Amino acid sequence: MPAIRPTKSLQKPENPEILMRLKTATQLIALVLVAPLLAGCLERGRPTVVDTSGDDDAICRANNVAAGSSEYVACRRDRDVLRNNANARADRRQRDLGEYMLNHPDHP
């Protein structure tokens, strides 16, 4: 019985230049597929910045104050303080949870 040989297209190329191109292409494809997954690591736990100036403006104008008046400026300042306090609380709770998990590995 005659031996069956694979066709030329199924055999490994013997030219080192072709092998190098295939290896480089494979690595490039892998990098392109993994890069979006690693992009999330660049955030470093910071939430994306959301523009809430429109909401703040609408809330402060709902009190029938003119933009630029001292009442309007105080309202916007108060809104900023409230938002910063909420962000600080969320960060503190996340940090506390991480510390608890490190200190109590037996409690899920």
Query: Which of 45, 40, 48 lies closest to 98 in space, CA to CA?
Result: 45
For 5-61, what is each residue's pLDDT tens digit? 655 555 555 777 888 888 898 999 998 888 887 776 666 666 556 666 678 888 888
Q: What is the pTM of this model?
A: 0.48
Residue 78 reports pLDDT greater than 90: yes
How many CA atoms within 13 Å lie on the side-chain side of 72? 11
> Which sequence spans correspond to the domains of the chain?
16-41+49-103
Residue 63 neighbours by CB under 8 Å, 6+ apart: 71, 75
